[in-house]
Structure 1
Amino acid sequence: MCAAGRRWGRRQRALLGAVLLAAWQAAWGQLRYSVPEEMPKGSFVGDVAKDLGLHLPEISDRGVHITERGRTQYFALHGKTGHLVTAERIDREQLCEEAQQCVLRCELVVQGEMKLYGIEVEITDINDNSPSFREAETELRMSETTAPGSRFPLARAHDPDSGRNSLQSYELSGDEHFSLAVQAGPGGDQRPELVLAKALDREEAAFHELVLRAMDGGDPARTGTARIRVTVVDANDNAPVFSQAEYTVRVPEDVPVGSTLVAVTATDADEGPNGQVTYSYQMVSVKALKIFDLDAETGAITLMRNLDFEDGTYYELEVQVRDGGDLSDIAQVVITVTDVNDNAPEISVRSALSEISEDAPTGTVVALVYVHDRDSGANGEVSCSIDKDVPFRLQRSQGNYY
């Protein structure tokens, strides 16, 4: 063959490779569906075959399958119908905790044609949780000289549902000595307070029994209750006061278990039992309660189990200090977890040709490789390469796909 003919052949192969690469990139698509949480395994999510224009015989003939980036497989493809279905029951609160929007992502791979389609499934909330208090019964001790109008913070209820299905309001039932006030916190959360409406008289009544009720906005609404027992005691002139309203600390995720992360401190000007203070959690998530231990006597917060930046980066604890007369103060503790490069990149082959012709044009896609690092920021950025002494090159396609 003459030199001009060889140059023409190379230009044809290069042009064909560019066309194949453009077709590969055009195969990327995006589907979005929505499904309520707690649906039984095998529930319908979306008609993938119809939405992508795939014929049912093609699904089995071309090796069409669903891949997910996490360790748990939440979705599957029904081969006979082409429907995307749930692979197991999905609990939105367990999966996304307090996130406003819960979205799971997966991909549909047409292995024989090297095509891939992104799929997003929003998991919507149902009212499957009732507001609940960490303690069903609380005892408050108040001096009989407490002035009417005095306020006492009450434990807040927690409802893991979102939107209208989450906690919406509080009600108090009891007697004429007490009323309920609800304050708005910095984040818009509701903070119930017990208000002394009428002066106490220990000789008239040494105890008062109250019931605090928390309600969500579901239809029908769900409720949770906590019983409050008020014990009337002698005077306590001074309330304990924290040294600061908010404690903030940043810790690396590899800090050893048993380490003291921060210590809250409060002082009380009273003497004797009225000046002795104890610390406790006023508001803390179930997750944080298993990680951080609060010493009731010293106020030291220590680590009970290993931190994982990929599992949680921010924890907010509300600590209450009480003296012997049951006067109290509240402080916020904010713990921020910083990332450590403790995860190695993971490589997975999502699709590959089993064989290739020796005269395949340059630029032919032979494999689809996905690279993922669970670390964040610079620790999660990856770069890939292959041996130079092979007749292949690695090309980034989209995201972490090569």
Structure 2
Amino acid sequence: KEAVRGRERRLADLAAFQRYLFSLARELGRGSLVGPLARDLGLSADELPARKLRLSEEKQYFTVNEENGNLYVNERLDREEMCGATATCSVSFEVLVHNPLNVFNVEVAIEDVNDNSPIFRKSFLDLDIDEMIPPGSRFPLEIAHDADAGRNSLLIYQLTNDPSFTLAVTENPDGSKQPELVLERALDREKQSSFELVLMAVDGGDPARSGTVQVRINVTDANDNPPVFSKKVYEYMVRAPEDVPVGSTLVTVTATDADEGVNGEIKYAFKKITERASKIFHLDSETGAVTLLQSLDFEEGDSYELQIQSRDGGGLFDTAEVAITITDINDNAPVISVRSALSEISEDAKSGTVVALLQVQDQDSGPNGEVRCSIDGDVPFRLEKSLDDYYRVVTARELDREQVSEYNVTVRAADGGSPSLQSSAVLCLRVLDVNDNAPVFAEERYSARVAENNAAGALVLTVRATDADWGQNARVRYRLGEGRVRGAPLSSYVSVQAETGALYALRSLDYEQVRELRLWVVAEDGGAPALSSNVSVEVQIVDENDNAPQVLYPAPAAALGSGSGGAWSGVELAPRWSEPGALVAKVVAVDADAGQNAWLSYELAKATEPALFRVGLHSGEVRTARSPLARDAARQSLVVVVKDHGRPALSATATLSVVLAESVAELLAEMGSAADEAAAAAGEPAGSLTRWLVLAVAAVSCLFLAFLLLLLALRLRRWHRQQLLPPASGALRGVPVSHFVGIDGVRAFLQSYSHDVSLTADSRKSQLRFSRRIFPLAISDRSQRVRGFVHRFFFTKDRL
């Protein structure tokens, strides 16, 4: 260990004073060996892993192998790129050795090799030499460049042999060599007008490299001939339309020169030109072409005169005249100017009223400036020519603001060019309204339905009318037409709101009094004079169930209370031998309402013997449900309830007293008992009532016999007519219509056969009412039943 430490100290001391040098050719590629770095540093291969040999800098150029310690090229080296044109080129870096840490300075010298040839910047060198230049004149040539250094750089120039020229090389202050071409003898362009030589540059490398450039010598002529134009005046051939595109060539002037070279090179220029023309035309100094700088305008200028001069390189010149004529094209659209115009016109303006005055102009000439004017569309206007270029727009027919309230009149002008150009002007004209339209209702007639018992002020309906006019002329107000309802003014029933047309009911309407209202509503506009129209309004009063049924038969005896119905009473007669279904009585009731509110139904609410009688639901007929029995009471009390079909339903009651009897004596006894009860209730003697009852029965019997005789006479008369003329109608032909009443869709024949009898005794009044008996007879079968009843009741021995 001490020996090793001592060796390391010696190596460190040695590294502090010694620089390690390596030499490297630049063309070595990547991975090329530079040298055994570890060996030169005194390190063995066994020590390398522990000493960790590293490069501190310049790692991009070199790298060290950790296993053997050799130094290699890391990337390709380029001496010219690294060091430029310096004579020497080297790269220095430090090498680090660890355990212990030591630093070694290493320098790698990069040697130059002859890998670049001398080069010229141009491939050809052109020289113009006048034939008048004397011999001995020198002409500098281009210098060649060599990227190498030292003896590998440029050394000598060489020129191909030619008797007329030699090469001379001089040294510049910076040390570079300048080749020069020396004229050895006078030139003659007529004998030889050009020479081609080759200049070569050679470096001092081994092997040597060289570069060449071709030198072309042109012998120029002396200026002994002036240029000459092919024409002195260019006039008739230069005619240009004004729409020639900018940049177009109008004319090309040409001049020739017998000389060559600079003396034969001709330049063109304007000798005389106006300021306006100088902004329009451009002359190419090389070709003599006259081109456009900006668009031509025939209206600004129709011709231009130019004077052009040609000059050679020696100062000799010639002059030519150029006249350019511009032809017109249709490039200007007609211009319409509105000199005077109306913005409003009344719709009742007469035909021919002047609306506007127009001026139409076109800057073109000839047919291109001829203008034709027209009005677009089907509008009530026409054009009238006033002066040369003035037009009037007048109305062609009557106007109607309600059809068209505003016009945009388009006046179009077209010239005679090909293609034709057009322009237009729009006249905005508003039509003022005149009150020439009456209000028009939205519907031909109005109808509404209003429930009766409505609240006062209820809305019935709204009429609406529109007026095709405008402004105040279209403002519509409503009012009622004159009329009366049940003798009262119509205005006491309804009113109409003047602004909105809303129709209101001023009172509560009653269907039973007024079923409909027919009226007229007048709509009037605000014009002067005002125009108006009217519409028919029909208001149907819708029935409500506000009336209870009224019982017509039995006749009223006394009202029992109030509310939805009343109570009625009567006395009916029924034989005890009646069969089931026999008609006993008929309750007749009516309802002032309509529709289902007047549909009546009958019900037996209460009876002394409920199973003995039944009531027809819709007819109100009281019939026997079974034959009367001996045990049935002679007097039967029936309570019939009559109901309508309204919501809620209203009702009334009728009380019937039915007397069951086998004979007249029994009938009289029952009726006398009833009369006694009535008299007792009224405070009258019973005997007086009996006498009056007997008289009443006798009177009824006489009347009934008279009725039978009349009936028999009528039937004999009908039979006699049937024998003379066959009947043309049914069994009811000849019966007066007043004897028929519609009940449940059936027409029934009404005939009365009894009358009222009133008895008075001892200043006390007692009234016994034999109810008017109404038989709905069908004439065909009911008459037989009546005759049988009369025969059994009055003409049987035991009953007499």
TM-score by length of 2: 0.26
Q: 1:214 to 1:35 in 2, by over 3 A?
A: same
How far 1:125 sits from its partner (Å)?
0.8
Structure-2 separation of matches of 1:47 and 1:21: 22
Task: Verify the 8 A CA contact 2:15 2:105 in the aligned structure 1.
Answer: no
Q: Does 1:166 align with 2:149?
A: no
- Give 1:23 deviation, angstroms: 9.4
Picking from 40, 61, 65, the partner of 1:51 is: 40
Among candidates 154, 172, 190, match of residue 203 of structure 1 = 190
- Cα distance in 1, alignment partners of residues 145 and 213 from structure 2: 12
Quote how far apart the aligned CAs of 1:40 are. 1.8
Q: Structure 1 pair 174/23, CA: closer, same or farther in 2 (3 Å)?
A: closer
Report deviation, 1:113. Answer: 2.4
Amino acid at match of 1:195: V
Written as runs of structure 1 = structure 2, the 5 A alignment for 1:127-276 is 127-234=114-221
Aligned twin of 1:281: none
CA distance in structure 2 between the aligned counterparts of 1:190 and 1:213, rounded to whole angstroms? 13
Q: 1:145 to 1:112 in 2, by over 3 A?
A: farther
Does 2:31 align with 1:67? Answer: no
Over the matched positions of the two proteins, sequence identity in percent amounts to: 45
Q: Report deviation, 1:22.
A: 12
1:201 deviates by 1.1
CA apart distance, 1:167: 1.0
Residue 27 of structure 2 aligns with an amino acid whose one-letter code is E
Q: TM-score, normalised by structure 1?
A: 0.51
- Computing the radius of gyration from Cα coordinates, the structure with the larger value is 2
Tell me, what secondary structure is at the counterpart of 2:46?
helix
Find the aligned partners of 2:222 and 2:168 in 1 and give their Cα distance: 24
User: Contact conserved, 1:145 with 1:200, CA < 8 A, in 2?
Assistant: yes
Whole-Å Cα distance in 2 between the matches of residues 54 and 137 of structure 1? 60
- Aligned amino acid, residue 192 of structure 1: P
Q: Which letter maps to 2:172?
A: G
Distance 2:139 2:33 in 1: 50
User: Does the 8 Å contact 1:174/1:209 carry over to 2?
Assistant: no
Q: Which residue of 2 aligns with 1:116?
A: 103
Amino acid at match of 1:204: K
- The CA deviation at 1:106 is 1.3
In 1: Cα distance, 2:133 partner to 2:166 partner? 15
Secondary structure (helix, strand or coil) at the match of 2:151 reads helix
Work out whether residues 56 and 79 of structure 1, in 8 Å CA contact, stay in contact via their aligned partners in 2. no
8 Å Cα contact 1:106-1:118 kept in structure 2: yes
In structure 2, the residue matched to 1:89 is: 76
The residue type equivalent to 1:39 in the other structure is L
Q: CA deviation at 1:65?
A: 1.1
Shift of 1:112: 3.8
**In structure 1, distance between residues paired with 2:188 and 2:212:** 27
Q: Who is 1:33 aligned against? A: 22
Matched residue type, 1:67: S
Q: Residue 219 of structure 1: CA displacement?
A: 2.0
Cα gap change, 1:95 to 1:63, in 2 (>3 Å): same
Distance 2:138 2:56 in 1: 55
Aligned CA-pair RMSD: 2.7
The match for 1:106 is 93
Q: Secondary structure at the match of 1:57?
A: coil
Structure with higher RCO (Cα < 8 A, 6+ apart) = 1
**Could you say if the C-alpha distance between residues 110 and 171 of structure 1 is closer, same or farther in structure 2, counting changes exceeding 3 Å?**
same
Q: Mind listing any 5+ residue stretches in structure 1 that lack a counterpart? A: 1-19, 237-272, 275-323, 326-402
Q: Which secondary structure does the structure 2 equivalent of 1:113 belong to? A: coil
Query: Contact (CA 8 Å) 1:159, 1:166: kept in 2 or not?
Result: yes
The answer to whether the Cα contact below 8 Å between 1:105 and 1:119 also exists between their aligned partners in 2 is yes
Partner of 2:632: none
Q: Distance in 2 between matches of 1:142 and 1:167?
A: 29
Cα offset, 1:62, TM superposition? 2.1
Inter-partner Cα distance in structure 2 for 1:96 and 1:133: 22
Distance 2:203 2:147 in 1: 11
Letter in 1 for 2:91: L
Cα displacement string for residues 170-221 of structure 1 (whole angstroms, at most 9, x for unaligned residues): 1001521111011112232211111111111111111110100111112221
